[in-house]
Amino acid sequence: EIVLYGKASFDGKEKKSIFRHICDKNRDFLYEVAIDYYGVEITYDELIKNVDTNAKVLTWLGVEKNDVITICSPNVPSSIYFYFAAQEIGAVPSMMHVYSSPEEMKRYLTVEKSKIVIMIGMNQPKRNLQSILDDTSVKKVVVIPLNDSLDCSCMESMKTKLGIGFLGTKVGSRLLKNEGARFDMPSDERFITHKECICQSKNQEVIKSYTEISTIIHTGGTTGMGKSTLLKHENINRNDD
């Protein structure tokens, strides 16, 4: 079951994606910080360029207007770029928890007919996805490195925000060394690295488009089975007006 929340309109205002709304609001602040990721500062100008790069990636992967892509990743910068890039070409990003069970993954991917999965480079979600991938319509899985956008200068910020306990784990210690977690890239040809996608798609033409649905999120299922919930660009943009 897919539940659509929100019927609000802009009362005649031009409809635009969340990303277009952000760009319009910050056109005079291109060199101000848009994202602060553990001390790594990304400006609005850099954000726009990275979104454009990932719009090329999605187009190269065959994503079209109204297609669903699934983002199975914490909020690393590249997952944010993909989120907005999907909206730029009229596709719909679906946000799937990185520790979703295989059964949950299968249900969401099947119901939403997702073609592409953007996945963080961690072995547990990879194994869960692999176990059900053949039962879905997914064509490609793009793997983002766990240490996406991190550099050595952000060590102190990470210690403060993540805590010494996490940084003492294998994953945490490798993050501090800017190595990322040890990830076994599957031989399955459906898996491809983000870096390779960027390389292959650098000359890709992009047709920008708009569709009403901005995002699919999933409810917790506390009263039963979790549901896919559709949010519209208008609902989110209106909160900023």
The span from the CA of 86 to the CA of 18, in Å, is 11
Predicted local distance difference test score (pLDDT) of residue 229: 85
Give, to the nearest 10 degrees, the angle between helix 44-60 and helix 18-25: 150
Beta strands in the chain (DSSP E): 2-4, 33-37, 40-43, 68-72, 92-95, 116-120, 140-144, 191-193, 213-218, 228-232
CB 13 within 8 A of CB 232: no
Predicted local distance difference test score (pLDDT) of residue 71: 97
Predicted local distance difference test score (pLDDT) of residue 191: 96
* Predicted model pTM: 0.83
Q: Which amino acid is at 68?
A: V
Predicted local distance difference test score (pLDDT) of residue 2: 35
The span from the CA of 73 to the CA of 4, in Å, is 24
The span from the CA of 54 to the CA of 76, in Å, is 14
Count the Cβ atoms, other than its own, within 10 Å of residue 179: 13
Burial 13-35 (b: 16+ CB within 10 A, else e): eeebbbbbbbbeebeeeeeeebb
Closest C-alpha to 152, from 170, 179, 181: 179
What are the φ/ψ torsions at residue 129 (nearest 5 degrees)? Answer: -65, -45
The span from the CA of 14 to the CA of 178, in Å, is 44
Q: Which amino acid is at 119?
A: M
Bridge partners, 69 (sequence order)? 93, 116
Predicted local distance difference test score (pLDDT) of residue 161: 55
Predicted local distance difference test score (pLDDT) of residue 75: 83
CA distances from 171 to 36, 135, 176, 180 (A): 21, 30, 9, 7
Maximal CA-CA distance, the chain: 54
Count the Cβ atoms, other than its own, within 10 Å of residue 175: 22
The stretches in the chain having pLDDT less than 70 are 1-14, 149-182, 221, 224, 240-241
CA distances from 233 to 7, 117, 213, 238 (A): 11, 22, 6, 8
Read off the pLDDT of residues 34-51 as tens digits, 9 standing for 90 and up.
Answer: 998 877 889 999 999 999
DSSP annotation of 183 reads -
